[in-house]
Amino acid sequence: MEQYIIKGGNPLVGEVEIGGAKNAALGILAAAIMTDDTVRIDNLPDVQDINVLLEAIGEIGVRVDRISRTSVLINGSGIGSISVDYEYIKKIRASYYLLGALLGKYKKAEVPLPGGCNIGSRPIDLHLKGFKALGAKTRISNGAIIAEADHLRGNHIYLDTVSVGATINIMMAASMAEGRTIIENSAKEPHVVDVANFLNSMGANIKGAGTDVIRIRGVEKLHATEYSIIPDQIEAGTYMFAAAATRGDVIVKNVIPKHLEATTAKLVEIGCQVEEFDDAVRVVATGRLNNTNVKTLPYPGYPTDMQPQIGVALALAEGTSIVTESIFENRFKYVDELIRMGADVKVEGNTAVIYGTEKLTGARVSAPDLRAGAALVIAGLAAEGITIVDDIVYIQRGYEYFEEKLRSLGAEIERVSSEKEIKKFKLRVG
Ligand code: UD1
């Protein structure tokens, strides 16, 4: 089992380059199998979730040709099975995007029900509601969802909750349905727009992505394209908060500043200077951070995927902050770990009251999920002394070259897998 070992206390200073958006890439890779032509995708993030999805599509007969670390050629003409293996869905929930992609292309898909996830219950009823509205029958058999239709026909679909996954999944299936689909109360996240742009570049006819009404006119066939994925706003935001919590000065490059507005606004509120460039942002934190309140909301609100990171910064701020999590019920699991590092936080239901403390001290903690894991690394970088973060497989799911990028900013962090390596690190950093 690998761990991160961190000697905290160094302000992060320098420049860091952000990779492609993981959550956009998951949708785009699934959509790429909807044509029999070869599709080229660039700016692919080199993270575990993406590698697992590439394996999953390879398994059903898709030709996957990784031409470089960040580029891949996908050819879905040889798909021999519409049934996805449980092993993959267990590892990445987002392989449920193959439901919408296969249903759109072949009018039939079989994907195992995603298992429970550690950030709360994550139903997919809205995805299924959408498929049914398009004329598909859905049933559950032997733990898998089977969706099939003689014809898919466009329809008017209202999403009861704003859901990124349901919006993307329905958009994919509707792109190859007959006639017009309208998705109301759709998610507006940048990665929804990116998947829509990608599908449009393959010949789909999707309008309104990025607003809460998406209109899709179905087409019979999709075709080849070359497409570059947008930068990862959550990876970017994570480095922005790492700069804030360590009182550093970091230029985060290859970003779309507009996508970071909610994060930027909160950083400014807590006393950081944020400078925006065309495709970069600079975050400078000098003194102690201020308290604030924050509530997670669908885009353009403050992202739930950035909640643990701001939680760590606020644990070090002056005064009391209130963090309300309104998307997933189980996203405060990092708090117990943070308390072990000296934070003063009380969680009640979906609210955390954070009483800022002047310093955190290093401890052995464990990553409860992807973003919470990254937040604990930030805590370790800001803390006095040595922090060991266990269960870093979660972090590797979504951050490419995490420790390398942090080291390039002056962090003392290493990935280790034995007591011997831990000792060696401690000896080296003194
Ligand atoms: C995506 C992101 C995840 C992010 C989340 C919210 C991917 C791969 N993952 O997850 O990182 O935290 O958006 O921004 O892009 N819901 C239902 N029924 C459904 C679907 C969702 O009730 O059928 C509820 C969920 O329980 C949750 C809310 O809707 O409370 C939002 O979930 P959703 O936007 O669907 O999240 P994901 O797409 O799973």
Cis upstream peptide for 300 (omega within 30°): yes
Q: In angstroms, what is the span from residue 109 Cα to ligand 1's centroid? A: 21
> In the prediction, which pLDDT does 143 show?
82
Pull the structure tokens for residue 10: 């160094």
> How far apart are the C-alpha atoms of 358 and 365, rounded to whole Å?
20
> How far apart are the C-alpha atoms of 361 and 321, rounded to whole Å?
20
Confirm whether 117 is a catalytic residue.
yes
Q: Is 164 in the pocket of ligand 1 (CB under 6 A)?
A: yes
Least confident of 118-132, 190-204, 273-287: 118-132
Residue 92: pLDDT band with limits 50, 70, 90: confident
DSSP string for 52-76:
HHHHHHHHTT-EEEEEETTEEEEE-
Instruction: Give nearest CA residue, ligand 1 atom 21.
Output: 163
% of the chain beyond a pLDDT of 90: 90
Q: Atom of ligand 1 at shortest distance to CA of 24?
A: 15
Instruction: Give nearest CA residue, ligand 1 atom 13.
Output: 164
> In the prediction, which pLDDT does 119 show?
59
Q: In angstroms, what is the span from residue 207 Cα to ligand 1's centroid? A: 22
Q: Is 380 in the pocket of ligand 1 (CB under 6 A)?
A: no
Q: Is the pLDDT of residue 110 over 80?
A: yes
> Tens digit of pLDDT for each residue in 151-192?
999 999 999 999 999 999 999 999 999 999 999 999 999 999
> Tens digit of pLDDT for each residue in 347-389?
999 999 999 999 999 999 999 999 999 999 999 999 999 999 9
> In the prediction, which pLDDT does 401 show?
97
Q: Is the pLDDT of residue 117 over 60?
A: no
> Tens digit of pLDDT for each residue in 46-78?
999 999 999 999 999 999 999 999 999 999 999
Q: Is 163 in the pocket of ligand 1 (CB under 6 A)?
A: yes
User: 427 Cβ partners below 8 Å, 6+ apart?
Assistant: none
Q: Would you tell me how many other CB atoms lie within 10 Å of the CB of residue 198?
A: 25
34-43 mean pLDDT: 98
Q: Is the pLDDT of residue 137 over 90?
A: yes
For 298, how many CA atoms within 13 A lie in the half-sphere containing its CB? 16
> In the prediction, which pLDDT does 116 show?
46
Mean pLDDT computed over every residue of the chain: 95
- pTM strictly above 0.75: yes
224-249 mean pLDDT: 98
| H or E element in which residue 331 lies | none
- What region, left, alpha or beta, does residue 135 occupy, with left being phi > 0 and alpha being psi -120 to 50 degrees? left
Q: Is the pLDDT of residue 120 over 70?
A: no
Q: In angstroms, what is the span from residue 113 Cα to ligand 1's centroid? A: 15
Q: Would you tell me how many other CB atoms lie within 10 Å of the CB of residue 21?
A: 27
Instruction: For residue 290, give the nearest of 323, 265, 263, 267 by alpha carbon.
Output: 267
> Tens digit of pLDDT for each residue in 265-278?
999 999 999 999 99
Nearest 5°: the CA angle 411, 415, 416 is 130
> In the prediction, which pLDDT does 118 show?
63
User: 387 Cβ partners below 8 Å, 6+ apart?
Assistant: 4, 5, 6, 8, 341, 362, 363, 364, 365, 376, 379, 380
Query: Taking the mean position of all CA atoms in its chain, how far away is CA 7?
Result: 27
> In the prediction, which pLDDT does 85 show?
82
Q: Would you tell me how many other CB atoms lie within 10 Å of the CB of residue 429?
A: 12
Q: Atom of ligand 1 at shortest distance to CA of 298?
A: 14
Adjacent-strand bridge partners of 117: 120
Return the best residue to mutate from 49, 163, 168, 394 for the ligand 1 pocket (most ligand atoms within 8 A of CB).
Answer: 163
Q: Which of 67, 113, 117, 393 does the annotation list as catalytic?
A: 117
